[in-house]
Structure 1
Amino acid sequence: MRYLPLTSADRAEMLESIGAASVDDLFVDVPAQARLPGPIEGLPAHASEMAVERHMSALAAKNLSAGSAPFFLGAGAYRHHVPSSVDHLIQRGEFLTAYTPYQPEIAQGTLQVLFEFQTQVARLFGTDIANASMYDGSTACWEAILMASRITRKGKAVLSSGLHPHYGEVVRTMAKFTRDEIVSLDTELTAEPDDAAVIAQIDDNTSCVVVQYPDVLGRIPDLAAIAEAAHAKGALLVAVVTEPVALGLIEAPGHLGADIVVGEGQSLGVGLQFGGPYLGLFGCREKFVRQMPGRLCGQTVDADGKRGFVLTLSTREQHIRREKATSNICTNSGLCALAFSIHLTLLGGGGLAKLAAVNHARAQATIERLTRIPGVELLNEAYFNEATLILPRDAREVVNELAGRGVLAGVSLGRLFPVADGLHKGLLVAATETTTDEDIETLATQLENLLVGVPA
């Protein structure tokens, strides 16, 4: 589609209709210090299409892509193998229907796969129900806190120390526009998550406790104990899952007492995709369904008695609920949800369990080899496919130098927690089914050479 800009007459007519003297009047609510005083310095005023293409290609060539180097990054975004059949199937005509399924008679393919997706997520999370997806894991986390506040009519959310800091930032940013009190516990390098510290923060005004499972350091918190303590005070437990493949091996959060389970679905069918778009997952107890954000697809029968699918519940503000809506989420990540559902269908329950076992075995092999390097220590003995290592020097420097040697070694905790004390030597290392023995040996060799001063 060609870009057809407005003419000066078009703009003048539009401004007159809304009572604005100029385009600048539309930005008066943006603080002056947040607005650019003019064009961005250093950018050319114009360039030809070929020149821009050459320039952008040169910039892209500086990247070290996930598929071209030993890759051990995780921290909420994981490299898994996505079968080629996933990309093929998401392009079938049954799914290339209406953008949003307002008219069920022409959107049966979309509605059916969302119904199946909801079933898969509910079974994966151990919840009664799940919605037709959210934007991503971090915004789903915030929506869960809002939901808990509506249900309990309380205003304090406790964020465990193991919650991904980016999720915490999203929560604190959004809480500026509500009256919710956010209590965030500091992350510390301990072998076990400090569940007692989380429980100690729960009081009569607590709406929910938010716990990541496995947590950002790769540790496995005791959800059952936290759930019991939360429920004793009338609070809800919100479990956050950033690596859904882990649920092929560890117990589902809903079976351990979690009232709301949210997460990131990127690991299945979606791919890294330069950081997005991703896929928010959301499940809860059935009794809370009227407070659940997003939309819910349901199964019914048509006038001829044939099975059909419809939008059963949609709480967004653009529908009849308007200002009474539980959420302003205006859509679901439909294409990513479709890819997730197809990948999980191809795996099946047994395949997911096998995939999870392979991931854990690959992580064990990686950790066993790396901890043979003098000065490298393992923080947490219990983990799924991601664990924290303690290095003898700043992990941020190590990661950058290893990237220069062609190895994407992991995520430094100093990058995730730039203002925290005592975390700078922590390195979060993830391994998946895509990790080979050669990758592990390359990382180990280059890391050992780097630590002892052997030049690249």
Structure 2
Amino acid sequence: MRYLPLSDADRSEMLRVIGAGSIDELFRDVPEEARLSGPIEDLQMHASEMAVERHMTALSRKNMVAGDGAFFLGCGAYKHHIPASVDHIIQRGEFLTSYTPYQPEIAQGTLQMLFEFQTQVARLFGCEVANASMYDGSTAMWEAIVMGHRITRRNKTIISSGVHPHYVSVARTMAKFTEDNLQTSLPRLTAETDVESLIAAIDGETSAVVVQYPDILGRITDLAPIAEAAHAAGAILIAVVTEPVALGLIKSPGEMGADIVVGEGQSIGVGLQFGGPYVGLFATREKFVRQMPGRLAGETVDAEGKRGFVLTLSTREQHIRREKATSNICTNSGLCALAFSVHMTLLGEKGLRQLASLNHARACEAADRLADIPGVELVTNSFFNEFTLRLPVEARPAVHAMVEKGILGGVSLGRLYPGIEDLQNGLVVAVTEVVTDEDIGALEAALKEVCA
């Protein structure tokens, strides 16, 4: 993309057209503490290309990257092994584009891939229909909330305390501009989930109940009672899945009555990539298909009766008036969806189940060893590959101390919930198939030292 400089007159005219009095007013939705008040310190105003490269390289060396040591981070972004064939296929010329295939006559391969991706997601989530991917897991959750609003004609959504706080934050940001009323609370550092309180909160004004599965602490719960209570009140159940590999081992949300299942597909085929781009997954019941946001690839036949694929039911923001669209986000993460679909195809159902079993076994081994450390308590008694520990010390400084030893020892709840005293000693540990016995031993030794 070309850089097109603007004059002060150009900027003033642009602000006038959109009705903003100044640049500060234009960015009024950005918190003041997050705005720069001036030039970045220690960064020269002018430098050569080589000087900039040297400076950026020096900054990058301060990072500890995923391959440098034992890796136990999770909470919505997971390190799994990705076969080299995935990267090879997605870089082929006919696939290497993130753009939507609007012209079916020249994009049959991409459309077929999206059709197969949709089939995989629908089967994985236990639903009848899925779309051709979304921006990421958090915005997919918001789209599901808005879809529930359209279906029920209600605007109160109850969000479980076990839903990832970043997902909740995205929903709250979006809800500032809609009539949606979001109700949620903070998690408690216990093995019990908030199922009973969720059911008790459902009433005749409830549009949807949102539950993460497994939740932010790694806990797994039966969604059927929540679905039953929601349906009895005329509401819907939205399930959020941040670790889809888990569904190779545990029952799918759709099987337990979830009406909409959304999630983050990063852990299948998509690397960590310093936080993105990722791929949002979205599936629902066939009866709700016309309310589903995003793109939908459908199967058809051409004029000669040959099998073909097209985009269908595309009531989207660029086709109709914004206020009538089913979505105003719905970016299609086509390349990441392709990576997901290639990896899933290589695994197959048997391979996915084997991968899930390996993850669970590794996590159980790590949990048992870490729980034997004096003062350390295993909070989560039912989990897939991610569990929560209560440490005898504050978790965030402990994590930083382990980084100095070359170990990314987990995500502290103090980082996710800053200032919440009851959660400061909580540490969420994710264990995938890439973790070795030596990695678990290194984490065990480091945790013993920081907790002593």
1:54–1:181 CA distance, 2 compared to 1 (3 A): same
Query: Tell me, what secondary structure is at the counterpart of 1:314?
Result: coil
Query: Tell me, what secondary structure is at the counterpart of 1:274?
Result: helix
Residue matched to 2:359: 359
Partners of 1:374 and 1:36 lie apart in 2 by 45
Residue matched to 1:5: 4
Per mean C-alpha deviation after superposition, the further-off stretch among 333-342 and 419-428 is: 419-428
What amino acid maps onto 2:317 in structure 1? E
Partners of 1:18 and 1:180 lie apart in 2 by 29
Residue matched to 1:213: 213
Say if 2:244 is the partner of 1:247: no
Structure 2: any 5+ residue segments left out of the alignment?
none
Shift of 1:5: 3.4
1:361–1:58 CA distance, 2 compared to 1 (3 A): same
1:228–1:52 CA distance, 2 compared to 1 (3 A): same
Q: Map of 1:52-63 to 2, 5 A cutoff?
A: 52-63=52-63
Residue-pair matches, total: 449
What amino acid maps onto 1:257 in structure 2? G
Residue matched to 1:347: 347
Residue matched to 1:448: 448
Partners of 2:314 and 2:23 lie apart in 1 by 32
Residue matched to 1:257: 257
1:22-44 deviation digits (Å, cap 9, x = unpaired)? x9756644449846554344431
Shift of 1:218: 0.4
1:47-67 deviation digits (Å, cap 9, x = unpaired)? 111111111111111111111
Shift of 1:368: 1.1
Shift of 1:106: 0.9
Q: Map of 1:138-287 to 2, 5 A cutoff?
A: 138-287=138-287
Say if 2:332 is the partner of 1:332: yes
Query: Tell me, what secondary structure is at the counterpart of 1:389?
Result: strand
Per mean C-alpha deviation after superposition, the further-off stretch among 144-153 and 42-51 is: 42-51
Per mean C-alpha deviation after superposition, the further-off stretch among 300-309 and 281-290 is: 300-309
Task: Name the TM-score, length of structure 2 as normaliser.
Answer: 0.94
Shift of 1:16: 6.4
Contact 1:20 1:26 in 2 (8 A): no
Partners of 1:160 and 1:381 lie apart in 2 by 19
1:151-198 deviation digits (Å, cap 9, x = unpaired)? 000110001111111111111111111111111022101112121011
Partners of 2:361 and 2:22 lie apart in 1 by 59
Partners of 2:31 and 2:273 lie apart in 1 by 33
Partners of 2:81 and 2:31 lie apart in 1 by 45
1:161–1:27 CA distance, 2 compared to 1 (3 A): closer
Query: Tell me, what secondary structure is at the counterpart of 2:313?
Result: strand
1:52–1:138 CA distance, 2 compared to 1 (3 A): same
1:33–1:174 CA distance, 2 compared to 1 (3 A): closer
Partners of 1:53 and 1:98 lie apart in 2 by 28
Shift of 1:314: 1.5
Partners of 1:36 and 1:445 lie apart in 2 by 41
Partners of 1:100 and 1:338 lie apart in 2 by 12
Shift of 1:221: 1.8
Contact 2:293 2:330 in 1 (8 A): no
Partners of 1:439 and 1:209 lie apart in 2 by 38
Per mean C-alpha deviation after superposition, the further-off stretch among 95-104 and 54-63 is: 95-104
Contact 1:315 1:326 in 2 (8 A): yes
What amino acid maps onto 1:44 in structure 2? Q
Query: Tell me, what secondary structure is at the counterpart of 2:281?
Result: strand
Partners of 1:406 and 1:64 lie apart in 2 by 8
Shift of 1:99: 2.2
1:283-342 deviation digits (Å, cap 9, x = unpaired)? 000111111110100011111221111001223210145531111135300000000000
Shift of 1:226: 0.5
Contact 1:185 1:198 in 2 (8 A): no
Contact 1:315 1:321 in 2 (8 A): no
Partners of 2:191 and 2:225 lie apart in 1 by 18
1:101–1:449 CA distance, 2 compared to 1 (3 A): same
Query: Tell me, what secondary structure is at the counterpart of 1:111?
Result: helix
What amino acid maps onto 1:163 in structure 2? V
Query: Tell me, what secondary structure is at the counterpart of 1:366?
Result: helix
Identity of aligned residues (%): 66
Shift of 1:441: 0.5
Contact 1:387 1:429 in 2 (8 A): yes
Q: Map of 1:22-171 to 2, 5 A cutoff?
A: 28-31=25-28, 34=32, 36=36, 38-96=38-96, 99-171=99-171
What amino acid maps onto 2:338 in structure 1? L
1:204–1:136 CA distance, 2 compared to 1 (3 A): same
Residue matched to 2:419: 419
1:398–1:7 CA distance, 2 compared to 1 (3 A): closer
Query: Tell me, what secondary structure is at the counterpart of 2:423?
Result: coil
Contact 1:391 1:425 in 2 (8 A): yes
Partners of 1:4 and 1:394 lie apart in 2 by 47
Task: Name the TM-score, length of structure 1 as normaliser.
Answer: 0.94
What amino acid maps onto 1:310 in structure 2? V
1:375-403 deviation digits (Å, cap 9, x = unpaired)? 11101111000000111110111100000
Q: How well do the aligned residues superpose, as a CA RMSD in angstroms?
A: 2.2
1:74-100 deviation digits (Å, cap 9, x = unpaired)? 011000000000000112233246822
Partners of 2:86 and 2:421 lie apart in 1 by 43
1:16–1:360 CA distance, 2 compared to 1 (3 A): closer
Partners of 2:433 and 2:64 lie apart in 1 by 20
Contact 1:97 1:107 in 2 (8 A): no
Partners of 2:215 and 2:221 lie apart in 1 by 7
Partners of 2:103 and 2:249 lie apart in 1 by 39
Partners of 2:304 and 2:191 lie apart in 1 by 60
Contact 2:134 2:330 in 1 (8 A): no
1:114–1:451 CA distance, 2 compared to 1 (3 A): same
Partners of 2:368 and 2:13 lie apart in 1 by 69
1:348-383 deviation digits (Å, cap 9, x = unpaired)? 001000000000001011111111211111011110
Contact 1:240 1:261 in 2 (8 A): yes
Contact 1:97 1:106 in 2 (8 A): no
